[in-house]
Amino acid sequence: MHAPILVTGGTGTIGRRVVPLLVASGRQVRVLSRHPRPDSPGVTHLEGDTVADRGLEAATDGVEVVVHLAGGRTGDDLAARHVAAAARAAGVRHLLLVSVVGADRMPIGYFRAKAAAEQAVAGSGVPWTVLRVAQLHDLVLPVARAAARLPVTPAPRGLRFEPVHRDEVARRLADLALGEPAGRVPDLAGPEVLDLAALVASFREAEDRRPARRLPLPLAGAVGRAYREGANLAGPDARRGTRTWQEFLTATMLDSFKSAADGAA
């Protein structure tokens, strides 16, 4: 009989796909997030706050593996320190952290916090694994949608993404959680590198609209230089998902069509 696995942020876009994979492998799962949620078969929900260091002692008590996915725009460094300290105090066997590709290369607060979170985990004394992942298709979608509404498509020079599918990230995280601590594992990114204009062009095409003129824009400062140098991109050693932006868009459009049709019925 295995001890439970704690998934912080198990209700988020990635977490709610990781949790059923762990349950399907026969594990009991505890989910920690800030808002109350009902329990379900194999899943106990606990309220807590990783940034405020609330509820972590109870959540980690008797747990074998912690999958730390809870995250926000700020505070991920502090949250990781709290989770790592609680995991250590509870004698956790494996602490798995999700981070972001380019964490230690991008001069942006969110990335810096992720780099500090990685250090907190690696220095915790708990055997650990860190997986850096690229932006999900879901995160890129609202950016592409907003840009597609404009009469011209902004094309910041050097800004590229390699979006990855949430299900492929969830599968990899579940496999890592069920495996042995592995330290820093190869980054996980999507199968293609796309600039904003290409993302927007596919979005307009999916909506059966004509392409818009591209408006090249300079990207200033250290952030611009980092993007131009591809500091946010995974290198040749990365693992690549197989699901493309186009496949994601088509599936998303079909889902919205189906919801609209169901609503009208």
Q: Is 184 in the site for ligand NAP (CB under 6 A)?
A: no
- As a whole number of angstroms, the distance between CA 6 and CA 20 comes to 13
**Shortest distance in whole angstroms from residue 80 CB to ligand NAP:** 9
Residues 123-152 that bind ligand NAP (CB under 6 A): 133, 135-136, 139
Cα-flanking dihedrals φ and ψ of residue 19, to 5°?
-55, -50
Q: Are 12 and 69 spatial neighbours (Cβ–Cβ below 8 Å)? A: yes
Residues β-bridged to residue 194: 161
Query: Judged by CB under 6 A, which stretch of 11-19, 57-65, 203-211, 232-240 contacts ligand NAP?
Result: 11-19
Q: Which of 234, 230, 226 has its CA nearest to residue 191? A: 234
- As a whole number of angstroms, the distance between CA 74 and CA 50 comes to 12
Q: 212 or 233: whose CB is closer to ligand NAP?
A: 233
- As a whole number of angstroms, the distance between CA 137 and CA 195 comes to 13
Residue at token pair 């904003």:
196
Residues 47-66 that bind ligand NAP (CB under 6 A): 48-51
Q: 21 or 100: whose CB is closer to ligand NAP?
A: 100
Q: Is 35 in the site for ligand NAP (CB under 6 A)?
A: yes
**Shortest distance in whole angstroms from residue 27 CB to ligand NAP:** 18
CA torsion angle for 197, 203, 206, 211 (degrees, to 10)? -40
- As a whole number of angstroms, the distance between CA 199 and CA 248 comes to 11
Query: Judged by CB under 6 A, which stretch of 7-15, 192-200, 208-216, 251-259 contacts ligand NAP?
Result: 7-15
Q: Are 166 and 17 spatial neighbours (Cβ–Cβ below 8 Å)? A: yes
Q: Is 14 in the site for ligand NAP (CB under 6 A)?
A: yes
Q: Is 56 helix (H, G, I), strand (E, B) or coil?
A: helix
Q: 27 or 165: whose CB is closer to ligand NAP?
A: 165
**Shortest distance in whole angstroms from residue 1 CB to ligand NAP:** 27
Q: Figure out which of the listed residues 46, 100, 198, 233 binds ligand NAP, where binding follows CB under 6 A.
A: 100
Could you list the residues that contact ligand NAP (CB under 6 A)? 8-9, 11-15, 32-35, 48-51, 69-72, 79, 98, 100, 133, 135-136, 139
